[in-house]
Chain A
Amino acid sequence: MIEFKNIKKNFDGKVVLDDVSHVMETGKANLIIGQSGSGKTVLQKCLVGLFEPNAGEIIYDGVSFTTMNVDERKELRQQIGMLFQGSALFDSMTVEQNIMFPLDMFTTKHFSEKLKRVNEVLDRVNLDGINKKYPAELSGGMKKRVGIARAIVLNPKYLFCDEPNSGLDPQTSMVIDKLILDITREFNMTAVINTHDMNSVMEMGENIIYLFEGKKEWTGNKKDIIFSKNERLNGFIFASEFLQDAKDMRMLEAKGKISNDRDMDELLK
């Protein structure tokens, strides 16, 4: 569980995060959603310590991250895996070397044991036979999966994903979403995912925080979103007319006003 209280972050006097508090639950996909520039990435970078918040407290399973010294943070970071927006794979290394890197750095295992673990995680993300390929030779979806494999190779307790679907087609996005969700449940991790992709929200949204202009605007889960009366959230979620129509239908359906597919088709017209 990751808890953050009253997080504030300014850049050159501009307030990016303003008094944001929430609890990210263990074994669940915790989503940070919001428009571009709403502070999602900054919040995530504050949580992992890439940015220092101007105020507030971050607590990892009861231990304050904010007051940790450099060595304590280093130790905690070995329990954190992160998937970056652009995958952030090391260009000069093969897939195998990329995934083996954390094992090389933080374990004293023999090469054969490390290779076995690399193949295990590659198998877990459904990638085979690409050990000797370089990141430049992979597709966007494959890079993301290698990024996930590298993030989970040390069996982390916390998994952070920054826009895991950016630049991917809808079908590949769904594969990545499902993979993240499955891994989160399988290893009982605390997953914190930044996204503005609505398919991801509906696929994974077990605990959602919606940020608007750096402030926490709404929290809930994917079911709550459909029936939310928060205008800002509705404006973000149902930005397209089609989705708004779909929402109206769900509302009507819930109220029992439409009962069959023909009525739905009529409404869509």
Chain B
Amino acid sequence: MLFFNHFGRYLLMLKGMFTKPENMRVYWKEFMHQCVEIGIGSMGIVIIISVFMGAVSAVQTSYQLVSPLIPASTIAQIVRDTVILEFAPTVVCIVLAGVIGSKIASELGNMRVSEQIDALEIMGINTKAFLILPKILACLLTIPMLVVLSMVLGILGGRLAGTATGILSTDTYDMGLLLNFVPYNVFFALVKAYTFAFIISTIPSYYGYYVKGGALEIGRSSTKSVVVSCVMILFADYILAAILLDK
């Protein structure tokens, strides 16, 4: 019953965002501000985890491929596919759920508790449209970009680690990358990125916007929003894989 209560309010929140903006210029400014906060602000962590994910997957794949019958270029293929299919969209988005999700939930929660949202309402501003919609749109724009960046850096990380440890040469790695490449995998990863971006932005917004109480409740709702977002990402990951990768 509680689930349906939350889900109903979540849907009403989403519905409430779609009204005519009071001033398009101010909304645009807020959207750009959120793009910088979310996109540029998360770039550092995305770069670090992507490079290391690619590097570690190259080393570990090589460690498991003991048969001399399997060519070294297979390592590059495996790194490419794991990074594109799972590491870049799912692992990066789980990390972003923590970074961006907690920021959104605590920012909105603090605004609610300190009556800043009420102040905006009194001015005649649709707070759902002004505070939540730019965050969702910014996530939908920047997170897929970060995922693409993560794909590139993950593959580069694998290349760096592969050559630095002497597992395979750069030529072999590059040749492996081109072997049996399926462009559909990139499409699948982008579908996942958009879906996860929606989850990462809307669930923390819901928990932050409707927080009640004080500082303790803001912390609780922030943690809860990250946990729920991560679970929903994993659930959506499975559903999308089952639907889009069904042969």
Contact = CB atoms under 8 A, between A and B. Distances in A.
A74 B123 CA distance: 8
Contact of A106 (B19, B22, B118): B22
Interface in B108-131: 110, 114-116, 118-119, 121-126
Nearest to B121: A50
A105 B116 contact: no
A241 interface: no
A53 to B, nearest CB: 16
Contacts of A77: 121-124
A101 to B, nearest CB: 8
Contacts of A181: none
A82 B119 contact: yes
Interface string B126-141: 1000000000000000
B124 A78 contact: yes
Contacts of A81: 122
A102 interface: yes
Contacts of B119: 82, 84, 88, 90
The bracket for how many chain A residues form the interface is 20 to 34
Interface in A62-95: 70, 73-78, 80-82, 84-86, 88-91
B23 interface: yes
B11 interface: no
A48 B121 CA distance: 9
Interface string A38-76: 000000010011100000000000000000001001111
Given A104-B23, A104-B26, A105-B23, A73 B122 contact: no
A49 B118 CA distance: 10
A169 B23 CA distance: 39
A85 B115 contact: yes
Interface in B9-55: 19, 22-23, 25-26
Contacts of A91: 110, 114, 116
Among A76, A81, A101: residue with most chain B CB under 10 A: A101
Given A50-B121, A73-B124, A74-B124, A106 B114 contact: no
A86 B23 contact: no
B123 A102 contact: yes
A88 B23 CA distance: 22
A50 B26 contact: no
Contact of A75 (B110, B116, B124): B124
A45 B25 CA distance: 30
A82 B120 CA distance: 10
B114 A105 contact: no
A105 B123 CA distance: 9
Interface string A146-186: 00000000000000100000000000000000000000000
Interface of A: 45, 48-50, 70, 73-78, 80-82, 84-86, 88-91, 101-102, 104-106, 160
Nearest 6 pairs between A and B by C-beta? A77-B124, A88-B119, A88-B115, A74-B124, A84-B115, A82-B122
Given A82-B118, A102-B123, 9 more contacts: A45-B118, A50-B121, A73-B124, A74-B126, A77-B124, A88-B119, A91-B114, A105-B22, A105-B123
20 contacts: A48-B122, A74-B124, A74-B126, A77-B123, A78-B124, A82-B119, A84-B118, A84-B119, A86-B115, A88-B115, A88-B118, A88-B119, A90-B116, A91-B110, A91-B114, A101-B123, A104-B26, A106-B23, A106-B123, A106-B124
